[in-house]
């Protein structure tokens, strides 16, 4: 069977930790979208691993697959694999031949477009990894796929088509001189060909490429368990998120089918677990109706967002939760949990269960609030409106919960759900009841042992 792990909010909900938690019963872990914009943290035997591309299950020695829905930067991938090997692990990673390759010019173009948009405060606040430009070329039918790296003739032919177009975009659209960019080789067919052909040889030598759909289907037919690891989160999904402040792929459950080659029936026969952080964080721009304010440094788009209000509280939660971007180190914006957002995510992906993380981070506060509904133009809304302009105008109707004390969380995780403070249980049960979805797991710390497990999905 399959279990699909989906971020229910804006990324960084603790997906990596939950993939790891349930990883024992799994044979294969497959990522279905995104690229090295992801940063998933796994704490294994006291060691912290921050993974951008290697699926989180690889830490436990499971086979990791990067599905066709992913965009793969081989530079990052091999760096990550080499680093893990230096730390004594031997990750077994297979890459879909249909996955698209992030080429050097994609990263440069990501930067140029963000820079241009920042002149009018319209930047998305991307991770700068070239994610959007690579998916653009995929949709534009001018991309290079992992399978193309294995065939020098095809690789050269595709580069000779696409690279001059990108040079022209830089020079004619952005009015910049390619030779004066930091990395002019990013737009040089020969330089790219040499480097990426070498990556192709390594893929071949280490037998790393697969037809992901066929490979994963065969795995399921043999009765093995497959975990589908989403990156990012529902509200930065390109279709169901707050466009244009989104990533360029589908983190929601539908993406698990298109991004792996498993049928929607196979994904739907399994469980879909929504990962919920007990409050909200966001890196990058865009509205956030329950935002608390108080970002350290200069997060794009922040100035518009209720600066100053509850700043101390936001700073407190940010420090307690270590809320700094895994990939970019940016301070994360902080807000209260947002139920209209979660009702939307639950509907889009059909969560069969949820995992609520970071309950420990809120411990010690006198009062914990949630956005229960929104008011938009005098009307009460239970779920998110479809346009970002409307969402920006939504006022959150807050509901207040009594806080819960700091306790020994590892002990509580050992003892089980009943060991949680009463007020923390009331918070969990409110979320379960509003979403009509049971909490399979409750995270009370970053380690594998700091999770209360109520249900094993496999
Ligand atoms: P992901 O991108 O969804 O995998 O999440 P990240 O790894 O980017 O961010 C989650 C951070 O919170 C990591 O540093 C985790 O180790 C940590 N974490 C995960 N679950 C919990 C939890 O329940 N409590 C606390 N305090 N930290 C957690
Ligand atoms: P994980 O998997 C949080 C955000 C960026 C930006 C927007 C678009 O660790 O949850 P992109 O580089 O993807 O074009 O940026 O999406 N973003 C994330 N935010 N967690 C992530 O991944 C993210 N990946 C992208 O900050 O706002
Ligand atoms: Mg992350």
pLDDT given at position 330: 87
DSSP-H helix ranges across 52-173: 74-86, 104-118, 131-139, 152-168
Q: Is 40 a catalytic residue?
A: yes
* pLDDT at residue 98 greater than cutoff 50: yes
DSSP label at residue 23:
G
- Residues 6 or more apart whose CB falls under 8 angstroms from that of 55 comprise 19, 29, 30, 31, 62, 64, 65, 66, 93, 229
* pLDDT at residue 304 greater than cutoff 90: no
249 lines ligand 2 (CB under 6 A): no
- Could you list the residues known to form a binding site, using ranges: 11-17, 37-41, 127, 141, 232, 247, 326-332, 358-360, 443-445
Q: Which ligand is nearest to the CA of 251?
A: 2
Residue pLDDT, tens place only, 192-249: 999 999 999 999 999 999 999 999 999 999 999 999 999 999 999 999 999 999 999 9
Per DSSP, what are the bridge partners of residue 51?
40
Q: What mean pLDDT is predicted for residues 104-117? A: 98
DSSP helix, strand, coil percent of the chain (3-state; round to 5): 40, 20, 40
- The pTM of this model reads 0.96
pLDDT given at position 327: 80
Residue pLDDT, tens place only, 129-164: 999 999 999 999 999 999 999 999 999 999 999 999
Q: Is 12 a catalytic residue?
A: yes
Q: How far is the CA of 123 from the centre of ligand 3 (A)?
A: 20
Q: How far is the CA of 430 from the centre of ligand 3 (A)?
A: 26
User: What gap in Å lies between CA 191 and CA 196, rounded to an integer?
Assistant: 9
Q: Is 82 a catalytic residue?
A: no
Give residue 309's pLDDT band: very low, low, confident or very high (50, 70, 90): low
* pLDDT at residue 305 greater than cutoff 70: no
- Residues 6 or more apart whose CB falls under 8 angstroms from that of 292 comprise 309, 310, 311, 313, 314, 317, 334, 335, 336
* pLDDT at residue 335 greater than cutoff 50: yes
Determine which residue's CA is closest to atom 15 belonging to ligand 2. Answer: 126
Residue pLDDT, tens place only, 21-36: 999 999 999 999 999 9
Q: What mean pLDDT is predicted for residues 40-45? A: 92
CA distances (Å), origin 225, targets 3, 55, 91, 352: 8, 15, 18, 17
User: What gap in Å lies between CA 215 and CA 198, rounded to an integer?
Assistant: 25
């Amino acid at each position: 069977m399959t279990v699909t792990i989906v971020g229910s909010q804006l990324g960084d909900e603790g997906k990596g930790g939950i993939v790891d938690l349930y990883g024992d019963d799994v044979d294969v872990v497959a990522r279905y979208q995104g690229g090295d914009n992801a940063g998933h943290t796994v704490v294994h035997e006291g060691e912290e691993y921050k993974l951008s591309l290697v699926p989180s299950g690889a830490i436990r020695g499971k086979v990791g697959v990067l599905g066709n829905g992913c965009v793969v930067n081989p530079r990052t991938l091999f760096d990550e694999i080499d680093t893990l090997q230096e730390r004594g692990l031997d990750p077994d990673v297979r890459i879909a031949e249909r996955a698209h390759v992030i080429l050097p010019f994609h990263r440069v173009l990501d930067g140029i477009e963000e820079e241009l948009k920042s002149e009018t405060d319209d930047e998305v606040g991307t991770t700068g990894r070239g994610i959007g430009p690579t998916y653009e070329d995929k949709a534009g039918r001018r991309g290079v796929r992992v399978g193309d790296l294995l065939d020098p003739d095809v690789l050269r032919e595709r580069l000779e088509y696409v690279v001059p177009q990108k040079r022209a975009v830089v020079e004619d659209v952005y009015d910049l001189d390619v030779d004066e960019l930091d990395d002019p080789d990013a737009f040089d067919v020969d330089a790219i060909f040499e480097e990426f052909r070498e990556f192709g040889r390594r893929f071949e030598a280490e037998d790393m490429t697969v037809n992901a759909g066929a490979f994963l289907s065969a795995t399921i037919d043999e009765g093995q368990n497959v975990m589908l690891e989403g990156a990012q989160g529902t509200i930065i999904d390109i279709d169901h998120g707050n466009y244009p402040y989104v990533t360029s792929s589908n983190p929601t459950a539908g993406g698990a089918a298109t991004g792996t080659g498993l049928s929607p029936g196979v994904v739907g026969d399994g469980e879909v677990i929504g990962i919920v952080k007990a409050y909200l964080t966001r890196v990058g721009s865009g509205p956030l109706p329950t935002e608390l304010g108080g970002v350290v440094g200069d997060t794009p788009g922040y100035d518009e967002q209720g600066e100053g209000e509850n700043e101390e509280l936001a700073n407190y939660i940010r420090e307690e939760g270590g809320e700094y971007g895994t990939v970019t180190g940016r301070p994360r914006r902080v807000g209260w949990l947002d139920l209209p957002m979660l009702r939307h995510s639950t509907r889009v992906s059909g969560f069969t269960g949820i995992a609520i993380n970071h309950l420990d981070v809120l411990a010690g506060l006198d009062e914990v609030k949630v956005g229960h509904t929104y008011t938009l133009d005098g009307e009460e809304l239970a779920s998110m409106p479809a346009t970002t302009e409307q969402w920006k105008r939504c006022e959150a109707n807050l509901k207040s919960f009594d806080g819960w004390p700091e306790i020994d969380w590892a002990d509580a995780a050992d003892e089980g759900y009943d060991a949680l403070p009463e007020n923390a249980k009331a918070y969990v049960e409110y979320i379960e009841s509003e979403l009509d979805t049971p909490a399979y797991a409750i995270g009370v710390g970053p380690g594998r042992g700091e999770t209360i497990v109520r249900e094993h999905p496999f």
